[in-house]
Chain A
Amino acid sequence: MMVPERISRILTAYVDGELDARQRKVVARLLRRSSEARKLLQGLQSDADQLHSLPAQALPLDFSEQVLRTIANHKPEFARRAAEVARFRIPTWLGLATAAAAVLLVVGLRAYLTVTTLDRQEPRQLLARNGRPLPPEDEPSSDEVAAAAPTAAGRELLPGPSPAREPTPLPPAEIVRAEKRQPESAVKPPPILGSQISGKDARLRDPEERAVLVYRLSDLDLATGKQLESQLQKWSAHVLDLRCMNPVAEVERLKTALGARGIQFSIEPDALAALKLGIGKTTSFALYFEEITAEEIVAVLRQFHATNAERQRISPARPETLMVNAMARDEEQRLWHLFGVDPVRSAAGLASPSVGTEDAPRLESGKSKRRAIVVAYSPGRSRPVSAELKRFLDGRGARRSGTLQIVLVLSAAKS
């Protein structure tokens, strides 16, 4: 008789020596009742003991001398590399001065934009031409300024609803210069275990910026939509952060809109529970899908907004805002945390590599349907891989060129 997984989990944790007193009592009661559990625990304990008893290996006595000799032989090269890194390293005072300069630049740029150029193709001009009043001239909020300033710390790939970072209403299509990101081509993918060394070096050497775009869905007309499409086409993977009033209702609407385009949805148990219980005000969702074109995603967002327009006329609410972030290759690792999936053990990476590499997924017949999955969004929280997620990942085929990978995060906007 197989021991159920929840029991085997507590038994392995017992062998790990990581249970507290209360949990150990639970195990003791379990062992009194179940001979299967006792047998399994005995086996697990024996395996652990045997591993622990493996004879220790040792290096030759002169190993440390060998290392020191290698260091001495390569000292000029080490010194050169250290100088290179030091050249790119930004001292703290310089970083702060740069941040202050960037703040002044943003303020100055905004002032410049508001007093000049009726003939520039800025989204604000599109608004004016459409006959809608321009939003009042504001000083940027401290959140916008903070977002514009380059920072040394990495930005969370998938920003969850965070009261501290909630911006005041923004003019549409405000292009906010975020801190420097790494372009896919220039960065060696960091090792799975996240080495300090290569990650920091790569970031310091990266000259290219990646913009974060912010839109109001209400302003996503044809022209602005085209603008968004061309931005999306610059990178193959994006995170779209959509703030709305009721994520539960919006998930259903999005599913309908995407379903009409032949995208099949599966829903993870946590997300399903949240949807059924209607606790959407406090739950955020992430919809992950591949093989969608930029045109399709923009059309879906416009359709999504259009179906909300009637409700918004009746009870005007805070406009839905969409933040668009291109996904850097090394940020995919964090995406795996969303799914709680071990990226190395998965059959294929989230960024479906091109066919011909050793990590390319096998093309299987009968798997040409476009698929998507909805998960309850809680980045950083580990979760066991559900059957739905496993089916979704296993059912993926090679991605058509010209299509995008999209993570669409739906979270509640503050009222």
Chain B
Amino acid sequence: MNPDDHRLIADCLQGRTAAFGELVRRYQDRLYNCVYRLVDNEEDAQDIIQEAFLNAYQSLDRFKGDSQFFTWLYRIAFNASISLRRKHRAALALKTGRMDAGVSEPLDASESSRPEFALEKSEQERRIQQALQRLSPEHRMVLILKDMEGQKYETMAEILQVPIGTVRSRLHRARMEMRELLQREGE
């Protein structure tokens, strides 16, 4: 683990909350970038990041230091994303009165589907973001971790708590799906 992170965590555990502020500043943008691409909604992403940091603060004494702090933080943030997605699905199911397994992602929450999104962002970003949102959350996660974060299979397996073979397999499927989606869009 980064010795600097180690020192900040130790300080925080001794009651110096300001040290935790430093950890937040260090990782907030990087984490937010990933989570934003995952959930495609600024407000949700900010809520998730805040929740992730609060959870991390509460559990800091349980962080063993056997992995990078950022890996641990990622895991918390991705878990929080999953929880939020479940809440949205439940809320949408209640709203629509549908309780069957076919409840899909709440597309109205996705920013890339807003009309003004096309004006705010470049065409390329819009295409990629839309294609990304059409993947399953698990496939989105692995592409974000690999292509945006540059993580190795081992780190991804640790973050996602799945075997390396599953990471490899998901990446394969995610890339092929992404290829197909972008081809259909007519690049």
Contacts and interface: CB of A to CB of B under 8 A. Distances in A.
Q: State whether these chains interact.
A: yes
A357 B93 CA distance: 10
B148 A12 contact: no
A121 interface: no
Contacts, number: 170
B25 to A, nearest CB: 5
Interface residues of A, number: 61
Highest count of chain A CB atoms <10 Å: which of B76, B128, B146, B160:
B146
Nearest to A361: B101
A54 B166 contact: no
A367 interface: no
B56 to A, nearest CB: 9
Contact of A59 (B32, B79, B125, B152): B32
Contacts of B54: 67, 70-71, 74
A57 interface: yes
A356 interface: yes
Contacts of B42: 57
Contacts of B148: 51-52, 54
B79 A380 contact: no
B114 interface: no
> Which secondary structure dominates where chain B touches chain A?
helix
Contact of A56 (B29, B89, B175): B29
B9 interface: no
A78 B160 CA distance: 27
A207 interface: no
A395 to B, nearest CB: 16
Interface in A330-387: 337, 340, 342, 344-345, 347-348, 356-362, 380-384
A12 B172 contact: yes
B124 interface: yes
Contacts of B160: 193
A384 B169 contact: yes
Contact of B57 (A18, A40, A71): A71
Highest count of chain B CB atoms <10 Å: which of A18, A67, A362:
A67
Given A193-B161, A194-B161, A381-B165, A59 B28 contact: yes
Contacts of A66: 50
Interface in B88-117: 89-90, 93, 99-101, 103
B29 A59 contact: yes
Interface string B132-169: 10001110000110111000110000011101111011
A115 interface: no
B178 A191 contact: no
B82 A192 contact: yes
Interface in B15-70: 17-18, 20-22, 24-25, 28-29, 32-33, 36-37, 42, 45-46, 49-50, 53-55, 57-59, 61-62
Interface string A28-57: 000000000000100110011011101111
Given A54-B128, A197-B76, A360-B100, A70 B50 contact: yes
A13 interface: yes
B129 interface: yes
Interface of B: 17-18, 20-22, 24-25, 28-29, 32-33, 36-37, 42, 45-46, 49-50, 53-55, 57-59, 61-62, 72, 75-76, 78-79, 82-83, 89-90, 93, 99-101, 103, 124-125, 128-129, 132, 136-138, 143-144, 146-148, 152-153, 159-161, 163-166, 168-172, 175-176, 178-179, 182-183
19 contacts: A12-B172, A43-B179, A47-B178, A48-B147, A51-B144, A56-B33, A57-B29, A57-B36, A59-B28, A64-B24, A67-B21, A70-B50, A194-B75, A196-B75, A197-B55, A197-B59, A344-B136, A358-B89, A382-B164
Interface of A: 8-9, 12-13, 15-16, 18, 40, 43-44, 47-48, 50-52, 54-59, 63-68, 70-72, 74, 78, 81-82, 191-197, 200, 337, 340, 342, 344-345, 347-348, 356-362, 380-384
